[in-house]
Amino acid sequence: MNTKILKKYFNEMYADNGEVREIYEPYNHWLKELPNGTLERRNAEAELLFRRLGITFAVYGETDEAERLIPFDIVPRIFGASEWQRLERGLKQRVKALNAFLHDIYHDQEIIKAGVINAHQVLNNGLYRPEMQGIDLPNQVYAHIAGIDLVRVAENDFYVLEDNLRTPSGVSYMLENRKTMMRLFPELFVKHAIEPVEHYPQMLLDTLREAAPINISDPVIVVMTPGAYNSAYFEHAFLASQMGVELVEGQDMFVHQQKVYMHTTEGPQQVHVIYRRVDDDFIDPRVFRADSSLGVPGLMDAYYSGNVALANGVGTGVADDKSTYLFVPDMIRFYLGEEPILSNVPTWRLSEPEDLSYVLAHLPELVIKEVQGSGGYGMLVGPTSSKEEIKAYKQRILAEPAKFIAQPTLALSGCPTLVESGVAPRHVDLRPFVLSGKEVRLVSGGLTRVALSEGSLVVNSSQGGGTKDTWVLED
């Protein structure tokens, strides 16, 4: 991949006239006063902290060093209070609509009847779960935890890149990044009034409690992980211990008379809420993939009977799929009667012949993604790809156009980042975590991901991206 740099992008720290944006002023002042080499020294300290704590991330396909650190950048990304308030409103609005959509399509399908979205788009989607039809969930919430990926292209222009409604990860980095920053730069936290994020686990626990089957006043909650070899295992263990609940694997549980139990040293104990970090396909070998050893036979039976809650619910994938993404603004209008606060990125669907021919003619300018892909795997970033890469990708598109969507190459905003040559802008995105129980809540902040190589637009940790602490300043 060559590194053609996008010439024009929004700089988080500097305004167009070269002046430091107001919210970055105190930080910039502090940075200027800092003796040479201090940033580099504290950076080395941070790396040591992460390594010793074992905050690692396994990357698929890397064999020799399976446990790798996600690079942590010590320059924070800063939001002003009013900027954040607008984002927060937009995020809550979007997630409410997405949950309303999921409830609707698994019940009366009003949105299809109204002709807002066609039946084929929903019912023939591989991620639609007919088994969920007519199943009632507490609070009508399907996606209890949503990770919404945002990018900024201008002062007041944010786009939603994608909605993650299955098992979004990364929140442990948001929390550990903050802890590390407070330890490395206590003086900055005195200088700035920064909204806390540390109460996220408590908020998550509240959300999971509210997800419990009705009639259960003191639910037993667990975090379910695929196991120690999963790439996000650290996060699963971290969240379980922060919430003070058991971290279980499929093999720790069994189903008896439509109730779920876990094996404990004191005998079987019933489980009411499972915060599962295992995909639908693997949670119950009797219903989904029979070869799955990660799941619990009979779990879906217990779920349909209302004896156990799963967070997130089953069948949420149909709403975060990249072809359904197109309809989210319509969902907001349809269910909430409001205009969307956050915009969608203009998107071409390659299943449509007109869109396909336009996209094929403009591949070097566009970003192409697989409709059901995630994690930055299998995508093409036109402007930074070689002719050969584009040619090879074109063959993949032609083989099965409906599997792909295309979007313009967005000029992701740049945020100051510590790199070898000093502090320089690198492209960032943002993933806030939106929780839905009886109400919709989120902490003020999120995970900022940063593409560490110059000019790169791919921020995914699996593709060499790093993370930053995200500050929301108090009013």
Partner 1 sequence: MLSRTADNLFWMARHIERAENTARVLDVAHSTSLLPLDIEGSDAYLWYAPLNITGCADGYEVKHGLARADVVTHYMALDPDNPASIYSCLRLARENARAVRGAITSEMWEVINDTWLELNRLPRQMDYEKLQDFFDWVKNRSHLFRGVTLGTIRKDIALSFIKLGTFLERADNTARILDVKYHILLPSVEDVGGAADYYQWGSLLKSVSAFEAYRKVYRDVISPQRVSELLIIRDDMPRSLHACMNEVESALLEINGTSGQEARRLAGEQHAALHFGRIEDAFALGLHEYLTDFLQNTALLSREIRDAYLSRRDTILSR
Q: Is 241 in the site for partner 1 (CB under 8 A)?
A: yes
* Residue 53 sits in the site that holds partner 1 (CB under 8 A): yes
Tokens read off for 163 = 């909605």
Residue 251 — φ and ψ, nearest 5°? -65, -15
CB 425 within 8 A of CB 414: yes
Of 114 and 228, the one with the shorter C-beta distance to partner 1 is 228
CA dihedral 46, 52, 58, 61 (to 10 degrees): 90
CB of 243 to partner 1, least distance (A): 11
Q: Which is nearer to partner 1, 97 or 204 (CB)?
A: 204
Q: Is 294 in the site for partner 1 (CB under 8 A)?
A: no
Q: Is 117 helix (H, G, I), strand (E, B) or coil?
A: coil
Among 20, 58, 112, 237, binds partner 1 (CB under 8 A): 237
Q: How far is the CB of 456 from partner 1 (least distance, A)?
A: 32
**Per CB under 8 A, which region of 32-40, 91-99, 174-182, 244-252 contacts partner 1?**
244-252
Residue 265 found at the interface with partner 1 (CB under 8 A): yes
Site for partner 1 in 152-211 (CB under 8 A): none
Among residue numbers 347 through 376, which ones bind partner 1 (CB under 8 A)?
A: none
Of 69-77, 201-209, 265-273, 383-391: span binding partner 1 (CB under 8 A):
265-273
One of 252, 330, 355, 389 touching partner 1 (CB under 8 A): 252
Please pick, from the candidates 148, 160, 208, 240, the single residue that binds partner 1 as defined by CB under 8 A.
240
Nearer to partner 1, 131 or 252 (CB): 252
Q: Quote the DSSP letter at residue 122.
A: H
Q: Which of 249, 284, 321, 469 binds partner 1 (CB under 8 A)?
A: 249
Q: Binding residue for partner 1 (CB under 8 A) from 130, 267, 337, 353? A: 267
**63 binds partner 1 per the rule CB under 8 A:** no
Instruction: Among 151, 247, 302, 319, indicate the residue that binds partner 1 (CB under 8 A).
Output: 247
Strand 157-164 vs strand 343-344: parallel, antiparallel, or unpaired? parallel
Cβ-based nearer residue to partner 1, 249 or 320: 249
Considering CB under 8 A, how many residues would be counted as binding partner 1? 24
The 210-229 contact track toward partner 1, x by CB under 8 A, reads -----------------xx-
Is 68 a binding residue for partner 1 by CB under 8 A? The answer is no
Q: Are strands 380-381 and 366-370 parallel, antiparallel or unpaired?
A: antiparallel
Which of 151/247 has CB closer to partner 1?
247
Residue placing its CB nearer to partner 1 in the complex, 227 or 346: 227
What whole-number distance in Å separates Cα of residue 463 and Cα of residue 447?
Answer: 16
Between 54 and 422, name the residue whose CB sits nearer to partner 1. Answer: 54
> Residue 165 or 255: which CB sits closer to partner 1?
255
Stretch that binds partner 1, among 22-30, 36-44, 68-76, 245-253 (CB under 8 A): 245-253
| β-sheet bridge partners, residue 67 | 58
Contact flag: residue 302 with partner 1 (CB under 8 A)? no
Nearest of 470, 467, 408, 447 to residue 6 by alpha carbon: 408
Per-state percent for the chain, helix, strand, coil, to nearest 5: 35, 25, 40
Which residues in this chain contact partner 1 in the complex, by CB under 8 A?
Answer: 52-54, 227-228, 237, 240-241, 246-249, 251-252, 254, 256, 261-268
